[in-house]
A and B are shown apart, each in its own frame.
Chain A
Amino acid sequence: MSISTPSLLTGFLRKNGKWGFRNYILILPLHNALNQLAEEVRVSHPAQTVITSVAHDWSGEIDSDWDRIHRVFSGFAVNPNVGATIVIGVGSAVEEEIVQAARAKREMPIAYLTLKDSGGFDNLRKLVAESVSEVFPLVTSIKRESAPWSAIVLGLECGGSDAYSGITANPALGVASDKFVELGGTSILAETMEILGAEHLLAARAKTPEVGQAIIDVVARYERSITYEGIDIRGAQPSRGNIEGGLTTLEEKSLGAAKKAGNAPFTGVLDYAYVPTEPGLYFMDTPGHDIEQLTGFAAADVNITVFTTGRGTPTGSAVIPTIKAATNTEMAIALPDLIDLNAGTIADGTETLAEVGERIFAEIVDVANGKLTAAERGGHREFNLSRLYGSTQ
């Protein structure tokens, strides 16, 4: 595929020049006491599929994770797949800071409604529902238009890996990732634990020596942060599910996981939930925890994700369509409503790596254009505020 190939993509062009492949109204609670209220408003609206919401544990506490919490909430609120956001809070200076940061990041409708101003849960529920109705015609009037390949900000994820991951779905996703990068798109590899042992191979593909060193440093920092807790990461990983899936060591898991990023050169390294500034392939420092990674992607303007899985997992994001690629045919058949695409055919000998790579590329385009993923059909909206609890990053 050459760069001159006309884009088959359509999306929603935002005022900041970013593209969305979904067009949600997001209800974002900033206190766990408001989780239920956010969900009640979402499910009570007649056009439920346009509205999304999340739930989390945070109740406004400020600690050493504040920067991270602030970055995730404000970034999540303005993900390009969101057309308007209704932030609901208790009514505090801390919440206002998050809302202001979100407004500074992107020009879009962002309402902020609070318990304090509304005088109670019942009235707030009513006000949030009214706010949804108010913004609804505006958001739904935004139409899809033809989008350039650079619109793609692809998140690469794996979870529930098995011995097939590194030879089927991950390298096939790498083929698709390489194509998007070549066409001017952005692709982000993440999960620092899952490149531990493979970092030297990735660093060798860095565009500059500084980027190469940053990849090495981020892995070293991660290992320090875990040993700081007095824990040998190699004793906890691979996980029991990975071992049952046939993986023997963390290094083996890492070598397979890194294949998701194909062979393109690395343009840069991002801290957790930081937005890439130019197209290219990036590495983002995230936990391997599926949902912490997905939430970090969402806060970093990722607009589509492919999630390879060997054991099968149902989870998805409230704002990013998440395509599940099975690493083996047996699981793809056993858990049909979790899986969008089977890459196990490579091990079966019925398809080549390049063919499955093409299929993943086409699926990404289809999903970007509006095809629903298994996780979206299932209503999955998992969300997690990633915390460090005082460990050194």
Chain B
Amino acid sequence: MTALRTLLLLPRNVVVVLLRLYRAVISPLYGDVCRYYPSCSRYGLEAVQEHGVVVGGALTAARICRCHPWAAGGVDDVPLRKVRRYRTTNFGFVVPAPTALTPAHRKA
């Protein structure tokens, strides 16, 4: 069962590695540009961790479209799922959590 869940989490963990790479190598090229907190790439990372590649990707695309020069900016967090079955490691990998987390356990 755990093996199956880990396998299901594989796509998003692959994307997590790619996004970590992007954030380490390409993001610093431009410095701070995003008008939101968290920044678009961080939002993408959190969205994929929370919702997976498909939904997280769509959320990120919507967010990037919101990040234009005429936007006011501000705090814009990833919407959390009602039942959170996973936790994230320090690196950002998504792994099955021992017990389901409620939204109250929001990670910082």
Does A pair with B? no
Using a CB–CB distance below 8 Å, which chain A residues touch chain B? none
